[in-house]
Structures are given as C-alpha cells and as structure tokens.
C-alpha cells in the first residue's frame, strides 16, 4: 500500500502550469497537502491549464523564472517536496543555448543546492527517454547506455539525473528521476515536433481531409497516457525509493501507422492515410520502454490503454476546438 506522504506537506511544482505539471497539481489536491506552490514563467504553460484549481486556497501560483534563483530559493525554503518539471521543449533548447544552459542545467544545480540547505525531503525529477537517443536494446532498460543521445535537451536531462545522484551521495538528498516516453492526453502540446502528429491527424479527422503520414509510418513510439504519468510521480514521492531512475512508458510499441489506424477507429472515421516524404523531424526510429523496474519499485503499471487514451484525447481536442469557435 502506498503511504500518503503528501498530507499536510508543502509541495513545490516547477513547471506546474504546463501539460504534465497542471495534471499533477490537480491530482495532488486530493492527497490533502498543506500547500501546493506552482512556479512557472508561462513560457509554455498557461492559466487555462490551471483553471480547475487556480482558485483553490491550497494552491499558490508564482509567475517567475526558475533562473531567478533568489525567488526559487525562497519557495524551496517553504517546501517539503519538489516536483521539478520546468524545462524547455527539445527544439526550443537550441534557440538560445545560454538561456537553455541556465534554465535546464544551472537551474538544477541551484535547485539541489537549495534543497540541501533547506532540508527538502525528496526531489522528483522529470527526465526523458531522450537520454537514450536511439536506444541499443528494445524494450529499453534504464541501464541502456546514453551515448546515442545527440541533443542538448537529452544532455541536460542526463546532467540533471547525474547531479541529483551526486548530491544523494554527497549530502544524502533523496531523489527519484522518471524518464517519460511519449506522453499524451488532454492538454498535450499541440505544436511539439514529436507529439504534433496526433494533433495534425485529429485536425484531419475534424476537417475530413486525408491524414498525412510522413515516411512509411514504421517509426515507433511508446505512448503513455497523462494520468499514468501523474500516478508514477505520486508513487515516486510516496514510496520509500531514492537514488533510482525509472522508465515511465506503456511498455508497448506502436508504429505511427498503427497509431493512425487506432485513431481513425476510435473516431469512427474511414479516411485513408496519404503517404508523403519523410520530414525527418525525429532522429529516433524506435521507442519501447522496459517498465519492469518501475513496476517492481513503484508498483507502476499503466491503467489507460492506447485506445481509451486516444478516445479521451480526441474528445478533449474536439471540445476545445468547438469552444474556441464560440
Ligand atoms: N510531454 C512529454 O512527452 C515529455 C516526455 C519526456 C519528458 N518530459 C518532461 O516532462 C516535463 C513536463 O513536460 P510537459 O510536457 O508538461 O511540458 P510543458 O512545456 O507543457 O511544461 C513545462 C513547463 O515549464 C515551464 N517552464 C519552462 N522553462 C521555465 C523556467 N525557466 N522557469 C519557470 N518555468 C519554466 C513552462 O512554461 C511549462 O509550463 C518537462 O521537464 C519535460 O522535459 C515530457
């Protein structure tokens, strides 16, 4: 059984106005915390994402940048636990490398320093499957080596994992890192290069135009539904595990062709795919998580099937589009 360590505690969520962070904040309220502090600069997150809980007296939203280290330190001083989710998207990282360094690399050093100074009980760090680049083994275990990663984003995530590891070793600071695979669901990013394929296809279904598959559709991903990712975060806080890194995926590999077929099926749609040239956005042709470690230590197994998740995501997207029209 999972203990509730969140009760009467102050929880800081960096990046809490974003896709995953806002779902996490919403779920945490049910665990009876003393306070939830959200730090977000709204570079990508929105007040709309937080509208379900913005007026809840348990929640304090602070609009600010994590690189304002005095501010971050002040918030950490008040906090028992930290979920560190703030990050730039993979492509945005290369637009301003100095800012990326400060907000993705230096920030986690400052965060760890402050956490030690202020006796934070645990940091739950949002890492990414990007640390693997194209993995060597499928399903990919956490021990797969990270040397195929070629991105700044993946490098920053790996640094985050490693600095936390060293702070555990140096100062006993507890942490758990979660390497998410392809997270999707209501509120997901509609513009990101990896996930946008779902959104583009939903637009095709809505507009009754043939959905486009770039390349032959054989690229695979491991899609994990948002509520399962939130569940993993809460388990990572509540279980007595530290100094461990877990893959968080579905443990199922889905090709883009299969994804489209399922998406058409759940929307009762008989449009036919149109194959176009590969747009080469994604240098990684395969993703499949080995989730046995998370299962063993966090009792993690996904609850939401891809079919069910796609149904919910489609409903959300069509409703949002409808509302925007009003
Ligand atoms: N969505 C995925 O598929 C996925 C996969 C792997 C890892 N992740 C990681 O999970 C975490 C959450 O991802 P998400 O999908 O919710 O992304 P998101 O972009 O929706 O959320 C990130 C949030 O961080 C905020 N932010 C960015 N830089 C900041 C800064 N310097 N100071 C304060 N706030 C800042 C943004 O405004 C945004 O609200 C990120 O660390 C991301 O790298 C996500």
Is 110 within a domain?
yes
Task: Tell me whether residue 298 is in a domain.
Answer: no
pTM of structure? 0.97
- Residues whose CB is less than 8 angstroms from the CB of residue 62 and which lie 6 or more positions away in sequence, other chains included: 37, 38, 39, 40, 71, 75
CA 150 to ligand 1 centroid distance, Å: 20
Which is the closest atom of ligand 1 to the Cα of 17?
39
Report the pLDDT value the prediction gives residue 278, as an integer from 0 to 100: 77
pLDDT digits (tens, 9 = 90+) for 207-258: 999 999 988 999 999 999 999 999 999 999 999 999 999 999 999 999 999 9
Q: What are phi and psi of 236, to 5 degrees?
A: -65, -30
Residues 102-132 have pLDDT tens digits of 999 999 999 999 999 999 999 999 999 999 9
Task: Let me know whether 90 and 126 are in one domain.
Answer: yes
Residue 215: inside a domain, yes or no?
yes
Distance, CA of 151 to CA of 142 (rounded, Å): 18
16-39 residue pLDDT tens: 999 999 999 999 999 999 999 999
171 and 260 in a common domain: no
Rounded-to-integer distance, Cα 310 and Cα 233, Å: 22
| Residue (of 226, 180, 185) closest to 311 by Cα position | 185
Q: Are residues 104 and 155 in the same domain?
A: yes
Give the CATH number, domain containing residue 119.
3.40.50.720
- Give distance in angstroms: CA of 239 to centre of ligand 1: 24
DSSP assignment string, 83-147: EE-----TTGGGT-HHHHIIIIIIHHHHHHHHHHHTT--EEEEEEEGGGGSS-SSSSBPTTS--T
Which domain covers residue 142, as residue numbers? 10-182+223-248
Please tell me the distance between residue 305's alpha carbon and the centre of ligand 1 in angstroms: 24
Same domain, 242 and 192: no
165 and 206, same domain (yes or no)? no
The number of the ligand 1 atom at minimal distance from the alpha carbon of 46 is: 39
What does 250-261 look like in DSSP terms, one character per residue? Answer: -S--EEHHHHHH
Residue 1 lies in a domain: no
278-313 per-position pLDDT tens digit = 766 567 899 999 999 999 999 999 999 999 999 999
56: which 2 tokens? 């809840």
Atom of ligand 1 nearest to the CA of 153: 43
Please report whether residue 297 resides in a domain: no
How many whole angstroms separate alpha carbon 195 and alpha carbon 102? Answer: 26
Same domain, 256 and 207: yes
* Alpha-helical runs (H) found in 18-68: 19-28
* Residues catalogued as catalytic: 153
Atom of ligand 1 minimally distant from the CA of 99: 31
Pocket of ligand 1 (CB under 6 A): 15, 17-21, 39-45, 65-67, 85-89, 103, 126, 128, 180, 182-183, 189
Considering its fold, how many domains does the chain have in total?
2
CB 215 within 8 A of CB 164: no
Q: Residue 259 sits in a domain of what CATH number? A: 3.90.25.10
| 3-state DSSP assignment of residue 248 | strand
Say if 23 falls within a structural domain: yes
Helix (H) or strand (E) holding 225, with range, is strand 223-225
CA of 107 to the centre of ligand 1 (A): 14
Predicted confidence at residue 322, as pLDDT, reads 75
Determine what percent of the chain is predicted with pLDDT higher than 90. Answer: 90
Verify that 136 and 243 share a domain, yes or no.
Answer: yes
Instruction: Judge if 195 and 242 occupy the same domain.
Output: no
């Amino acid at each position: 059984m999972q203990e509730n360590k969140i009760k009467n505690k102050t929880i800081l969520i960096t990046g809490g106005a974003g896709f995953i962070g806002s779902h996490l904040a919403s779920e945490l309220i049910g665990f009876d915390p003393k306070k939830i502090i959200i730090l977000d600069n709204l570079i990508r997150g929105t007040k709309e994402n937080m509208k379900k809980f913005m007026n809840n007296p348990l929640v304090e939203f602070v609009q600010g940048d994590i690189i304002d280290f005095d501010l971050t330190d002040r918030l950490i001083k008040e906090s028992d636990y930290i979920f560190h989710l703030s990050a730039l998207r993979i492509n945005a990282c290369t637009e301003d490398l100095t800012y990326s360094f400060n907000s993705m690399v230096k920030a986690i050093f400052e965060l760890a320093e402050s956490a030690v100074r202020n006796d934070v009980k645990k940091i739950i760090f949002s890492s990414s499957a990007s640390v693997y680049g194209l993995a060597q083994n499928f399903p990919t275990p956490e021990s797969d080596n990270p040397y195929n990663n070629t991105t700044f984003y993946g490098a920053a995530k790996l640094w985050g994992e490693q600095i936390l590891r060293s702070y555990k070793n140096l100062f006993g600071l507890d942490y758990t890192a979660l390497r998410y695979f392809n997270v999707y669901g209501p509120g997901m990013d509609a513009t990101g290069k990896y996930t946008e394929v779902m959104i583009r296809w939903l637009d095709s279904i809505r507009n009754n135009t043939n959905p486009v598959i770039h390349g032959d559709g054989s690229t695979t991903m491991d899609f994990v539904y948002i509520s399962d990712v939130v569940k993993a975060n809460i388990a990572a806080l509540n279980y007595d595990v530290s100094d461990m890194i877990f893959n968080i995926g579905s443990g199922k590999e889905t090709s883009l062709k299969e994804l489209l077929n399922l998406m058409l099926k759940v929307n009762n749609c008989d449009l036919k795919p149109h194959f176009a040239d590969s747009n080469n956005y994604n240098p990684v042709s395969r993703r499949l998580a080995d989730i046995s470690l998370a299962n063993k230590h966090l009792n993690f197994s996904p609850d939401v099937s891809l079919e069910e998740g796609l149904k919910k995501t489609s409903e959300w997207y069509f409703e949002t589009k409808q509302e925007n029209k009003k």
